[in-house]
Structure 1
Amino acid sequence: MTGTILGTYRTKFNSDGTVARYKARLVAQGNQQEYGLDYQDTFSPVAKLPTIRILFTIALFYKWSVQQLDVANAFLHGDINETVYMRQPKGFEVASNPNHLGFTQSQADPSLLTLHRDSVHLYLLVYVDDILLTGNNERAMAELVSKLQSKFALKHLGPANQFLGIKIERTQDKFFLSQTLYAKSIIQMVELHKCNSVANPSYTKLPDSGSDDHAAFDELKYRRIIGSLQYLTLTRPDIAYVVNALSQHMHKPAPTHSVMLKKLLRYIQGSLDFGLPITRSTLTLKTYSDADWASDPDTRKSTSGFCTFLGNTLVSWTVKKQNTVSRSSTESEYRALASATADIIWIKRLLSDFGVLHSQPLDLYCDNMSTIALANNPIFHARTKHIEIDQRFVRDHIQNKNIRLLPISTVDQVADIFTKPLTTPRFKLLRNKLTIAPNVQLEGAC
């Protein structure tokens, strides 16, 4: 074995407190972990969620099948009787076959492994012990699965139909990703399965904290619900803003937050069958960026929101409270724009691993004309020194023709749904533009 090899031990308990079993774990070259900080943590390859959506989008575009593999626990906890090289030692590389199976790691997402050999292109995505495999050659995919099964305890689950608790429904020109059963379990947990549903998950005006005496959740249950809802946002970006807002009060939720949470749960109850469709269109990238200036009444920090479409498919979105207070709406918009630029450049780099190249500038939409003017202005002003890094970052990508900053009306700004509470008609309009709906034929997509 190479490097520092350590063993750590952990006791696993049953729900009644009795010892279930003693677990021993091998820590390979893990001497950077600190006791009391992250010594008990385990680290596994975890694919980025946009990468998963992008893989399905590209597979659908080229009409490839997506296969699912699962590494059995017997392999994960098996006895090791052989010499194990946690990192290939220097001097043992085979010059003619340095990567053995031929796969290389993506620089954008290390959990994505790609193989390009002659006309064969295979893509393997790893999320701990769950694996997605797609490519343009069914025979090569079958041979790869056979080779892996000969070395590891690996289950071939066939076409992907459930991944990370997400149900995957496939038709000829569409994947549909949903978490209906998971959403139902959350509603059952809070005993709201008989409640009246609502059409909007948020309040445009904060409710009176005493308006519903039965809405209060204790702190422990509040945190548990919010944690569950954060996972639900994997296929439900329509609730991302409200979940983010409520997550900021997990340390000490007020009665008002419980009222807001109950309304969100009532909205979910009425939209259990909603999900995220992946449709076959083009592989053109476009991003929408927005910000709500000084929206937090306690800290006066702004909220950034942006989303990226690959063709008509929503593949990435973010809702985040900005780290610092902005002194103007232009400044808050610019901070959001810099984050959106970083995201779309990362996605462009990831797509290149799939052989999808974008030689033309990528479209980035913003509804603040002052921000657009500032981004295109080659003259640096002292009044913008406090956002100099963001300004130069965006402007460099504009000058290098990586992005193209375009104006858009506030009415058509899709990212508005990620930055603030909206009226019900406005919320439904933007939800439709996000393509979030039940699994039926969709109209009016972006």
Structure 2
Amino acid sequence: MDSELQALASNQNWTLTSLRPGKTPIGCKWVYKIKNHSDGSIERYKARLVAKGYSQTEGLDYHDTFSPMAKMITGENQVCRLNKSLYGLKQASRQWFAKLSEAIQAAGYIQSKVDYSLFTCKKGKSFTALLIYVDDILITGDLKFFLGIEVSRSTKGISISQRKYTLDILKYGGSLGARPVCFPMEQNLKLSDAGDLLTKPAKYKRLVGCLIYLTITRPNITYVVHVLSRFMHEPRKPHMEAALCILKYLKTPRQGPFFPAQNNLKLSAYCDSDWAGCPTTRRSTTGYCVFLGNSLISWRTKRQKTVSLSSAETEYRAMAGTCCELSWLRSLLQDLQLSHPEAATLHCDNTAALHLAASPVFHERTRHIEMDYHFTRDKIQEGLTVTKYVASAQQIADVFTKPLGKDAFTSMLRKLEVLDIHSPT
């Protein structure tokens, strides 16, 4: 705590002053945390003084940093007027990032226009990429562990996983000794608002929150976690049982995406949808996965905003969402000094949706669809995307839209290149 106060004082975060009439000081509190090494050993004890920014009121003191601190031992009616931002204030994160961005760009880095947290610098043959994550900085290099993500290298390629984080989740859920299962959700299972309410919903909410972060390296549980997150407000017994089933599936903690060393850099994607799959709202679910060569680099499961009148329409909307992701990735590759002159291939298993994307004459079928969903057609005409039919049995994106049986799920998993490189098989 003394070190924190000394750091704030040396940084001249505040000046002592009297409280002006009509001004209300914002309180403060201490936040304590133990920082650990990747092996779980203690690195250091940390104390942070934060402002109670939740008490700020828009229009009154949201943009005013006068007297943001109180309850300091500074004498009667003495408060601290902030000269610089402090953790906890509603403006703090934006001010911190603005100051950091200014310093990084002054050092010769260029800020990406498609991801403002990415900065790149190229000098001759040297290229450096710098990524901001909250208050951490990731620089390209021989990275092995970052924010719970473990990186394993071999001559064949790179694999990422969240082994320790997965084991922590299993321990929290009491499933370290549970018998493993082959897939995360029973086929054809439809969760709804039926069932007894949980008496202690906090455990379910925390468990699902942990699983959401785990989807960074476990695309195979993305759909199931997406479904469970719909019931965070009122979780019920069937929802908890489904969450515990995921934990049994996670008994292979080193599993994660594999990026082969020998690979081309061509973008391709698979998109799919589950028409009216939500039993509560009858909305459809969109799922897609994007590959750079043979490497899975992006995936998503999302419930569509409106009810679709046909399977062709919901597939067409899924194609539009995937095209947006492909366009963003193309721009991101350019920032990373990787040109992509070829058209990205978009695979879809619905012939009607493919015709809608390629032909502008389906007026009766499409006039009720918002204009932004015709984005796919524009990209095809511009030569940036080319569509291709894929049989439903080969539709990899199925794993992001519905629960599959053991054989189908295992087959899709192999195609996604999600594996455990430490497995003897």
Bucket of the pairwise TM-score, normalised by the shorter protein? 0.7 to 0.9
> Match of 1:237?
219
Contact 2:182–2:249 (Cα < 8 Å) also in 1: yes
Gaps of 5+ in 1: 1-6, 46-75, 77-83, 89-97, 135-157
State the Cα deviation string for residues 299-332 of structure 1 (Å, max 9, x = none): 1000000010111111100001111111100111
Contact 1:216–1:259 (Cα < 8 Å) also in 2: no
- Give TM-score, length-normalised by structure 2: 0.76
Deviation of 1:360 (Å): 1.9
> Match of 2:30?
12
> Match of 1:22?
49
Matching of residues 47-196 of structure 1 within 5 Å: 99-134=105-140, 159-196=142-179
> Match of 1:418?
400
Contact 1:366–1:407 (Cα < 8 Å) also in 2: yes
Distance, in Å, in 1 between the alignment partners of 2:129 and 2:343 is: 26
Q: 1:312 to 1:401 in 2, by over 3 A?
A: same
Pairing partner for 1:203 from 186, 196, 203: 186
Distance, in Å, in 2 between the alignment partners of 1:221 and 1:189 is: 9
Contact 2:222–2:400 (Cα < 8 Å) also in 1: yes
Matching of residues 233-382 of structure 1 within 5 Å: 233-269=215-251, 271-280=252-261, 281-382=263-364
Contact 1:207–1:256 (Cα < 8 Å) also in 2: no
Deviation of 1:338 (Å): 0.5
Contact 1:9–1:22 (Cα < 8 Å) also in 2: no
Deviation of 1:357 (Å): 1.3
Gaps of 5+ in 2: 1-24, 34-46, 63-87
Deviation of 1:382 (Å): 3.2
Distance, in Å, in 2 between the alignment partners of 1:238 and 1:275 is: 9
Distance, in Å, in 2 between the alignment partners of 1:414 and 1:283 is: 19
Contact 1:178–1:275 (Cα < 8 Å) also in 2: yes
Contact 1:286–1:309 (Cα < 8 Å) also in 2: yes
Contact 1:302–1:322 (Cα < 8 Å) also in 2: yes
SS in 1 for 2:414: helix
Contact 2:269–2:290 (Cα < 8 Å) also in 1: yes
State the Cα deviation string for residues 183-225 of structure 1 (Å, max 9, x = none): 111111121211111111101143999xx99x96731110000
What fraction of aligned residue pairs are identical, expressed as a percent?
36
SS in 2 for 1:177: strand
Deviation of 1:128 (Å): 2.9
Distance, in Å, in 2 between the alignment partners of 1:33 and 1:317 is: 42
Distance, in Å, in 1 between the alignment partners of 2:126 and 2:254 is: 38
- Give TM-score, length-normalised by structure 1: 0.72
Q: 1:369 to 1:163 in 2, by over 3 A?
A: same
Amino acid at match of 1:43: S
> Match of 2:76?
none
Contact 2:31–2:50 (Cα < 8 Å) also in 1: no
SS in 2 for 1:159: coil
State the Cα deviation string for residues 395-427 of structure 1 (Å, max 9, x = none): 111000010011111111110000001011000
Distance, in Å, in 1 between the alignment partners of 2:414 and 2:171 is: 27
Number of aligned residues: 357
